[in-house]
Amino acid sequence: MRGPWKPCLQVWCGPCYIPLDNAEFPIALPTNEDGLVNEEEKGSKRYLEARSGDNLCSPFQCDTCHFRNLMQREAQPNLAQDLRILKCIRRANLDALWSLEPRTVSRTLAECKRGLDIAGSLGFRNNLFPQMGPFPLDDSFGMGVAIVILQISLNPGKYDKHVQFGTIRKFRSAFSNVFHASIQGHDATVMAKDTRKLMVTKCPTYGVWFEKFMKGCHKRMGEIVRPDRALSTAILLEILRLLNMEWNDYPHRRMAISAEGAFYVIAFSCALRGEELPLVDLYGVMKHWEQGITSNPPHIVIAILGRFKGEIGENYHLLPIVTITSSGIDNKLWIGRLLDEYSKLNISNGPLFRNKAGSKIRAIDYETQFFDRLESIQLFRPDLIPSTDNVSEEYGIYRSFRRGSTSEATNRGLPPDVIDANNRWRKFHKAGASRPSLSMREHYADIRLTLNQSLRYSSIL
């Protein structure tokens, strides 16, 4: 005789679900500086098996269903291609399940069991929880995209055996762009109130499962972050000393030497990233040169001209800096030398930093020269750069100047609000806000009202 009906919930056996790839996909483990794995992590089953209750926390379809949805046929075990797809499906599913920590899964399972017991004792005639499947007969999870991402993750990397997560996630963005340009993406619903808009999309890479897959994949792979080391004022002053010697010894190279020196002092005094230096405009710097250096307080206006997010057309951003900083970085000397070289050639328009053809340079064009300067200093001044340092690995033209500048400002006691104010134009663009298109004269008039405050940052360097 059958007993009373009780509410139930299907729970898969987690430990039975293990990878098929034979450790092909990398799993990052906590290690110390000597590369030794943390003892607690040895023998860990993280990412190597599922947990009972995982399917209650993440949408789950078995490998066979995913294969059928992708290939519209049954898998053939004798085909290498089919085996490869099944391995990737298993890895993607495990990544999605491991987006949550074991404690969260075990608590969810325990709470579900308690809820079912209570519902059964009260005589519920319907299941307490919703059905866990079946799912639509198509790739609604985005498993196809996940498989491609996993394949990309096996490509050789620059700093490690495999590429970093930041590289593989680019395919997700590419797929999203294509999806929303397609017929399916065109049906997206837009909800708007005043100036705010929210788009409701059916793009699978924005779905719950795919979000969990990306999070779990990131946790499994880890990430090697190698930020450019901060450049100190002492090293910068030594670079400028070497450049000054070349200025005196090689008159025929003065244009290139002055451009290199101006690049370095502007990057440091304005705390600019390398990719922002090519946006410095020659006309804008020349226009306010004489007025700036003869003013009280004397200053130099760095004019950045470019197309920025949230703005219409091209806009100027004027960044005032002192003529010479407290540590002796002579902005007036190096920028003035470069402007004099341009005046000799009757050039007054275009980018301040340009190649021989007159086109805007790329920051990377200065990278080799920058490394050469650092290696020279390393050879003769190991007190500034130890011989054990790998210059080309640890420093970079894109971030070393900005990191060094903000670090020096912090070390010298400059308040955070002043440091943030120096970077407010960059934050403004990150926010995507719009602003009126003002003339350069109007921008400069605004700057002069708060000039002393604006110069606080560069003066302390």
**pLDDT classification of 430: cutoffs 50, 70, 90:** very low
Q: What are the extents of the domains in the chain?
A: 14-221, 233-459
pLDDT number for residue 333? 93
Closest among 110, 81, 71, 89 to 21, alpha carbons compared = 89
* Average pLDDT of span 222-235: 81
Closest among 108, 381, 440, 46 to 232, alpha carbons compared = 381
Share of the chain above pLDDT 90, in %: 33
- Reported in sequence order, the residue ranges of 286-361 that DSSP labels E, i.e. its strands, are 299-307, 314-322
Query: What is 233-459's CATH number?
Result: 1.10.443
**pLDDT classification of 428: cutoffs 50, 70, 90:** very low
pLDDT beyond 90 at 448: no
- Mean pLDDT of all residues belonging to the chain: 83
Lowest mean pLDDT among 349-353, 417-421, 422-426: 422-426
pLDDT number for residue 338? 93
DSSP state of 445: H
Per residue in 84-93, pLDDT (tens digit) is 999 999 999 9
Give the C-alpha distances (Å, rounded to integers) separating 368 from 105, 323, 348, 394: 51, 28, 28, 14
pLDDT beyond 60 at 437: no
**pLDDT classification of 244: cutoffs 50, 70, 90:** very high
**pLDDT classification of 96: cutoffs 50, 70, 90:** very high
Q: From CA 451, how far away is CA 296, in angstroms rounded?
A: 10
* Average pLDDT of span 359-376: 87
Per residue in 29-44, pLDDT (tens digit) is 765 444 444 545 555 7
pLDDT number for residue 194? 65
**pLDDT classification of 311: cutoffs 50, 70, 90:** very low
Q: From CA 39, how far away is CA 450, in angstroms rounded?
A: 57
Give 9 or 431, the one with higher predicted confidence: 9
For 53, counting Cβ atoms within 10 Å of its Cβ (0-12 exposed, 13-18 middle, 19+ buried), the class is buried
What would the two tokens of residue 62 be?
């078995």
Residue labelled with tokens 């498993």:
143
Listed in sequence order, the residues at least 6 apart from 171 whose beta carbon sits closer than 8 Å to its beta carbon are 145, 148, 149, 152
pLDDT beyond 60 at 20: yes
376 alpha carbon, distance to own chain's centre: 31
- Reported in sequence order, the residue ranges of 274-322 that DSSP labels E, i.e. its strands, are 299-307, 314-322
What would the two tokens of residue 105 be?
């899964």
Q: What are phi and psi of 314, to 5 degrees?
A: -100, 140
Lowest mean pLDDT among 310-324, 373-387, 393-407: 310-324
8 A C-beta contact, residue 53 and residue 111: no
Residue 282 host element (H or E): helix 282-287
